[in-house]
């Protein structure tokens, strides 16, 4: 049984390390701050919270809170992430390649997608999805998938919700995390496993595969194909089952998987849930927030979405090109962070 210290993993990317106005005031086990991040004072990180800035920058103001298992990331070479002061994000949420103004409360299981702009004093209710390029007006209360404005909220009320989310994250951060699994990589092989990933069961990785920060696997076996990436805070729960993922496939941030099979040259979008027995065939794009049913088969050549999943439109060359580009970016990210982890381990060994 392993117990992990409640301090964040801090790594550079391309020679640039995170810049903190002051050390995090609270940090849970398995939290990570990575790459080209600038963050203000009074940072609260729940367990497995991930802030990652590699292909673009992340800029965060003072008083930020990122709850347990939540992720902040960017869109490579396209969109940075900018977050204002006094913003709190709940559990298992994703803030991706967008702009969030001051005094916003983002509840559990929210996904904010690329190029969206969230105005000041906004409350986004639990389970909502903000579609790409959305604009959320200041002082609004938003809910749904896609999220729509359902009312207004005063600045005082929104700040109270921010304080509540921060308090919940601080309690979670104080919790000792013990696991029968193993943490991180063995330092061998032409693949990448983040030091904050937790694996229970067999894990077989082909060359170029990557398991990113905060992932938690509890399965009899997980097999990951060549150049496939499983992004931050994705979780496999199949204690007696098997998950098989093909070559050149992307599993996005905060995906939930039971025993299932995902083919090659596919992408499972941010926050999707793959139910037990799901089969995602080759050449499939699963939209962010999609939920599959027991034993569902997602046929090749289609964009699938909704809850439950249904075919939306045939894949075109532009979408296939995007899938291919993502693979190249993530192979490079994996190599860079693998080298950074090994350098950190060598420094610690030398100091010890």
* Dihedral pair phi/psi, residue 127, rounded to 5°: 80, 5
For residue 3, pLDDT over 60 is answered with no
Whether the pLDDT of residue 293 is over 90: the answer is: yes
Number of neighbouring beta carbons within 10 Å of residue 31: 30
- Could you report the per-residue pLDDT of 141-185, keeping only the tens digit for each? 999 999 999 999 999 999 999 999 999 999 999 887 766 556 555
Q: Which residue has the tokens 């802030």?
A: 51
Any alpha helices (H) in the chain, and if so which ranges? 155-174, 317-351
Please identify, in words, the CATH class of the domain defined by 180-348: mainly beta
Q: Is 275 helix (H, G, I), strand (E, B) or coil?
A: coil
The pLDDT confidence band at residue 4, using thresholds 50, 70 and 90, is low
Say if 2-174 and 180-348 have the same CATH topology.
yes
Q: 106-119 pLDDT, tens per residue?
A: 999 999 999 999 99
Q: Could you tell me if 228 and 247 are in contact, meaning their C-beta atoms sit under 8 angstroms apart?
A: yes
CA–chain centroid gap for 189, Å, is 24
pLDDT at 1: 44
Positive or negative, the CA dihedral 268, 270, 272, 274 is positive
Question: Tell me, what's the pLDDT at 227?
Answer: 98
Closest among 268, 267, 303, 270 to 116, alpha carbons compared: 270
DSSP structure string for 53-95: EEEEEEEE-TT-EE-TT-EEE-BTTTB-EEE-SS-EE-TT-EE
pLDDT at 179: 62
Is the per-residue pLDDT at 73 higher than 80? yes
CA distance 114 to 67: 20
Among the four given CATH numbers 3.90.226.10, 3.50.50.60, 3.40.50.720, 2.160.10.10, the one describing domain 2-174: 2.160.10.10
The pLDDT of residue 26: 94
Domain ranges of the chain: 2-174, 180-348
DSSP 8-26: -EEE-BTTB--EESS--SE
Q: Three-state SS string across 122-161, please?
A: CEECCCCEECCCCEECCCEEEEECCEEEEEECCHHHHHHH
What is the mean predicted confidence (pLDDT) over 32-39?
A: 99
Per-residue model confidence (pLDDT) at position 2: 53
Q: What is the pLDDT of residues 249-264, one digit of tens each?
A: 999 999 999 999 999 9
Instruction: Kindly report the average pLDDT of the chain as a whole number.
Output: 95
The region, left, alpha or beta by phi > 0 then psi within -120 to 50, assigned to residue 350 is: alpha
Q: Which of 348, 212, 221, 321 is nearest to 265 (CA)?
A: 321
9-11 vs 32-39, strand pairing mode: parallel
Beta bridge partners of 89: 66, 106
pLDDT tens figures, 174-233: 887 766 556 555 556 689 999 999 999 999 999 999 999 999 999 999 999 999 999 999
Q: 43 is written with which tokens?
A: 């940072």
* Distance between CA atoms of residues 49 and 105, nearest Å: 16
pTM metric for this prediction? 0.96
């Amino acid at each position: 049984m392993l117990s992990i210290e409640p301090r964040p993993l801090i790594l550079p990317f391309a020679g640039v390390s995170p810049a903190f106005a002051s050390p995090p005031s609270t940090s849970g086990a398995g939290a990570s701050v990575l790459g080209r991040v600038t963050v203000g004072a009074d940072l609260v990180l729940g367990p497995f919270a991930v802030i990652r800035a590699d292909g673009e920058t992340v800029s965060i103001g003072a008083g930020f809170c990122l709850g347990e298992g939540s992720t902040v990331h960017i869109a490579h070479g396209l969109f940075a992430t900018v977050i204002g002061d006094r913003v709190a994000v709940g559990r298992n949420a994703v803030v991706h390649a967008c702009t969030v103004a001051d005094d916003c409360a983002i509840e559990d299981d929210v996904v904010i997608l690329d190029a969206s702009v969230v105005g000041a004093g906004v409350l986004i209710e639990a389970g909502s999805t903000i579609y790409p390029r959305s604009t959320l007006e200041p002082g609004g209360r938003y809910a749904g998938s896609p999220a729509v404005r359902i009312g207004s909220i005063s600045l005082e009320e929104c700040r109270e919700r921010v304080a509540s989310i921060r308090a919940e994250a601080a309690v979670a951060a104080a919790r000792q995390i013990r696991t029968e699994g193993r943490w991180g990589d063995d330092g061998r092989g032409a693949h990448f496993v983040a030091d904050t990933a937790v694996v229970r069961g067999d894990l077989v990785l082909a060359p170029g595969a990557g398991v990113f920060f905060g992932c938690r696997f509890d399965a009899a076996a997980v097999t990951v194909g060549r150049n496939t990436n499983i992004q931050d805070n994705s979780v496999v729960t199949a204690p007696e089952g098997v998950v098989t993922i093909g070559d050149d496939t992307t599993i996005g941030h905060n995906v939930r998987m039971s025993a299932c099979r995902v083919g090659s040259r596919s992408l499972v979008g941010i926050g999707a849930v793959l139910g037990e027995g799901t089969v995602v065939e080759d050449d499939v794009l699963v939209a962010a927030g999609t939920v599959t049913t027991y034993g569902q088969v997602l046929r090749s050549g289609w964009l699938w979405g909704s809850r439950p999943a249904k075919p939306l439109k045939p894949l075109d060359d532009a979408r296939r090109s995007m899938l291919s580009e993502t693979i190249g970016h993530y192979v490079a990210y994996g190599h860079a962070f693998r080298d950074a982890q090994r350098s950190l381990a060598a420094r610690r060994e030398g100091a010890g």
